[in-house]
């Protein structure tokens, strides 16, 4: 999306009253698609062609209350729909919550927390009268430098699928239409408007389509098609992707709308599956260029280039999604004014959502290193701490920075249309200062370049906390020479040198990294670096979430949703400058490549330490299959049930993320192992619990390119249960 001009006054209003306003919070049970379509048919059957086309057409960039607005109709009446960013909260609005990013939600490996995050977002979007939330994002971290990877869930399709499913359900149960985006193969920002992501059918289905399939199963109301081309055809006029796969194979019942400015034609787009054009203009930067829909679409229907049945189908999909979420039952009036924020009425939708943000920030913090139980720290046993680095502080610029496209202070979100303005931010310096209390002296410096001063501040402290970060975002903003995608995966702001200088000066150095994705860590084995914390992008409660983990109020249970390599060249995909991007790695993305190539990562996918330890025992696996009546060798269906006993064998209570990886028969040609289940289990010290997994045809199948169907391969499978992709505790085989 593009960047509007916001006045300083408008952004300053983001400091407006933060007192909680009680929302009318009534959970919505969405209608079935059949019931929604019945109601839609009754309404759409009364519409003229022009009216049906109107509700598929955006009114133009910066020409309405929201980032996207459709035309409404009268007689019969259907409202103008408000479509609004972002996947983590409401963009261009005050008195809203600015929570953890999608990558942090994934790092929690916690279905319940992911759902609660989605529910509070849905409540806020509904409270502001938004009809469609433009999220969740579910594009992959194919390369860690990809600019918008932080908006989604990392490198694994199963984890991304859980994030997608739980987020869609949580948003839509508040009566707001969720949008699964960006469909499809939009994994880099470089040349995103003109490059073609080329992929084979099996890779498409087993990796990139997976979370969208889970979204459709969760009854997602809308899907946003992407800017890029896929196999040489624009995603938003791609007949195979939208008609054959999405609406055919997956049975998607909702509507497909374009990314902002991603429509390139009238008849071709419509006939190939596009249902709504956003924001409406042919050229967003020129209001006089008209629209591909509107009169052009009406003319195309009348000229026989587009069947009127197709125009009816487009309208039906939009109206049915509106009815499905019961937006005809008193949906609030839209109170946003995205491009003149100072004119928007005061509506505070924050409620107590900051509590959930704080909890999620702590739950998604990954403890990477903890020598001799350096963490947690008891403030009563500390006299002085040092807090060092620009990433530890906030600054007025943080609140006057459009779409967070600036740098030089604590990082809690990336940049671009996937952001929200902060109502406030608790920076790490404030969070740690408050948590350690008045009896603990705190010395600090935010100068990343004065290494002598950093060492001076650090040397006499009981503990030295040193902060650094690495940022990325959307390509319409360039930050420190990075045009969306990162130029490399090193730390920003002299981070490596700063960390080494502090570690040289203090024997109890604790490194804290806020980053959009993996970074190189040449200092990781420094003997004075006793702990490394990875809070990711924790949102407005950043400092409090961090302090909760540091002081032991929360036992960390976050896990890496991506692989952190020892060397940048260990990754097998890069940001391509070419206009044709072949996904040559096929199924071997992320940890699957590292496993296949036998490359030792610095920190593997699924990794994260705890303040306690967990024992695994008594793995039991039972498999059952049914076979085709005509061909006894063809597996028609199968179910695999696994159970394992987990015991907290440490000294404090905590949560373990139990992960199940599946190895397919050799004949399947699959990666060495793939995540196929995870459960978060909370245990008091000394207690044990049995964790159960059930794998069905979805988890046991591969995509057969010959028949273009999902098949369960015959042969020996192995299920690996462990604490990360490289920490397998128990394994068992079964044969289908």
Q: Give 717's DSSP letter.
A: E
Element (H, E) at 269: helix 267-271
Q: Going by DSSP bridges, is the β-strand pair 688-695/68-69 parallel, antiparallel, or unpaired?
A: unpaired
Cβ atoms of residues 349 and 95 within 8 Å? yes
- Other Cβ atoms less than 10 A from the Cβ of 635: the count is 19
Tokens read off for 720:
């690996």
Number of residues assigned to the chain: 736
Q: Is the peptide bond before 174 cis (omega within 30 degrees of 0)?
A: no
Active site residue 496: no
Calculate the alpha carbon distances from 476 to 104, 403, 542 in Å.
24, 10, 26
CA-based nearest residue to 734, from 714, 711, 712, 718: 718
Three-class SS of residue 164? helix
**DSSP secondary structure letters along 198-255:** E--HHHIIIIISHHHHHHHHTT-SEEEEPSSEETTEEGGG-HIIIIIIIIIIS---SE
- Other Cβ atoms less than 10 A from the Cβ of 702: the count is 19
Calculate the alpha carbon distances from 324 to 37, 172, 668 in Å.
8, 9, 40
**DSSP secondary structure letters along 295-343:** HHHHHHHHTTSS-HHHHHHHHHHHHHHHHHTTTTTTPPPP---TTSGGG
**Of these residues, 110, 156, 219, 259, which one is catalytic?**
259
* Residue bearing tokens 């009815």: 323
Q: Give 547's DSSP letter.
A: H
Q: For 182-197, b where at least 16 C-beta lie within 10 A, e where not — what string?
A: bbbbbbbbbbbeebbb
- Residues with a catalytic annotation lie at 259
């Amino acid at each position: 999306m593009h960047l509007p001009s916001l006045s300083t006054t408008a952004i300053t209003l983001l400091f407006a009253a933060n007192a909680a306003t009680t929302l009318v919070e009534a959970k919505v049970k969405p209608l079935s698609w059949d019931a929604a379509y019945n109601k839609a048919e009754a309404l759409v059957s009364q519409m003229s062609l022009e009216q049906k086309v109107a509700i598929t057409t955006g009114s133009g960039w910066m020409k309405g209350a929201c980032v996207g607005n459709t035309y409404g109709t009268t007689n019969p009446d259907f409202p103008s729909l408000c479509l609004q960013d972002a996947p983590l909260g409401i963009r261009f609005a005050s008195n809203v919550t600015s929570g953890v990013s999608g990558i942090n939600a994934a790092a929690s490996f916690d279905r319940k927390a992911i759902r609660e995050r989605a529910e509070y977002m849905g409540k806020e979007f509904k409270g502001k009268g938004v009809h469609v939330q433009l999220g969740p994002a579910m594009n992959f971290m194919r390369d860690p430098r990809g600019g918008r990877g932080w908006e989604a869930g990392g490198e694994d399709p199963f984890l991304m699928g859980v994030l997608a499913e739980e987020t869609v359900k949580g948003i839509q149960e508040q009566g707001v239409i969720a949008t699964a985006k960006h469909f499809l193969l939009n994994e880099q920002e470089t040349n995103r408007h003109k490059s073609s992501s080329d992929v084979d059918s099996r890779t498409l289905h087993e990796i990139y389509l997976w979370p969208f399939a889970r979204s459709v199963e969760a009854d997602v109301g809308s899907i946003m098609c992407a800017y890029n081309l896929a196999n040489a055809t624009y995603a938003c006029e791609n007949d195979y992707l939208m008609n054959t796969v999405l609406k055919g194979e997956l049975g998607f019942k909702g509507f497909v709308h374009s990314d902002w400015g991603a429509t390139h034609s009238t008849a071709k787009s419509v006939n190939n599956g596009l249902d709504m054009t956003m924001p409406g203009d042919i050229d967003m930067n020129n209001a006089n260029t008209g629209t591909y829909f509107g009169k052009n679409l009406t003319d195309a229907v009348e000229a026989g280039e587009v069947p009127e049945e197709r125009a009816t189908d487009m309208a039906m999909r939009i109206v049915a999604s509106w009815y499905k979420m019961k937006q005809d039952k008193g949906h609030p009036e839209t109170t946003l004014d995205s491009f003149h924020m100072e004119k928007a009425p005061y509506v505070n939708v924050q409620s107590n959502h900051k509590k959930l943000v704080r909890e999620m920030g702590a739950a998604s913090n990954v403890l990477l290193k903890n020598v001799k139980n350096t963490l947690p720290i008891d403030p009563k046993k500390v006299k002085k701490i040092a807090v060092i680095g620009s990433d530890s502080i906030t600054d007025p610029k943080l609140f006057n920075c459009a779409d967070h496209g600036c740098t030089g202070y604590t990082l809690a979100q990336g940049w671009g249309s996937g952001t929200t303005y902060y109502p406030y931010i608790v920076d790490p310096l404030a969070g740690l200062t408050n948590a350690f209390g008045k009896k603990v002296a705190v010395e600090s410096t935010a100068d990343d370049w004065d290494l002598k001063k950093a060492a001076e501040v650090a040397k006499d402290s009981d503990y030295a906390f040193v902060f650094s970060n690495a940022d990325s975002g959307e390509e319409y903003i360039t930050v420190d020479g990075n045009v969306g995608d990162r130029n490399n995966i090193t730390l920003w702001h002299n981070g490596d040198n700063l960390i080494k200088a502090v570690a040289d000066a203090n024997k109890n150095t604790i490194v804290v990294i806020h980053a959009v994705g993996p970074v190189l860590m040449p200092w990781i084995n420094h003997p004075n670096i006793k702990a490394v914390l990875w809070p990711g992008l924790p949102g407005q409660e950043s400092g409090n979430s961090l302090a909760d983990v540091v002081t032991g109020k929360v036992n960390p249970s976050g896990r890496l949703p991506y692989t952190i390599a020892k060397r940048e060249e260990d990754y097998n995909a890069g940001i391509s400058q070419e206009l044709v991007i072949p996904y040559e790695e096929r199924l071997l993305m992320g940890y699957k490549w590292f496993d296949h190539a036998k490359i030792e990562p610095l920190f593997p996918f699924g990794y994260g330490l705890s303040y306690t330890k967990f024992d695994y025992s008594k793995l039991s696996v039972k498999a059952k299959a049914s076979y085709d009546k005509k061909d006894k060798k063809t597996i028609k269906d199968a179910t695999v049930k696994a159970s394992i006993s987990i015991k907290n064998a440490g000294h404090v209570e905590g949560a373990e993320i139990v992960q199940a990886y599946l190895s397919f028969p050799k004949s399947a040609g699959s990666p060495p192992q793939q995540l196929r289940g995870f459960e978060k289990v909370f245990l008091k010290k000394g207690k044990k619990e049995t964790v159960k997994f059930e794998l069905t045809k979805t988890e046991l199948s591969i995509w057969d390119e010959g028949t273009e169907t999902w098949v369960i391969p015959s042969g020996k499978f192995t299920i690996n249960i462990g604490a990360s992709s490289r920490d397998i505790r128990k394994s068992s085989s079964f044969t289908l």
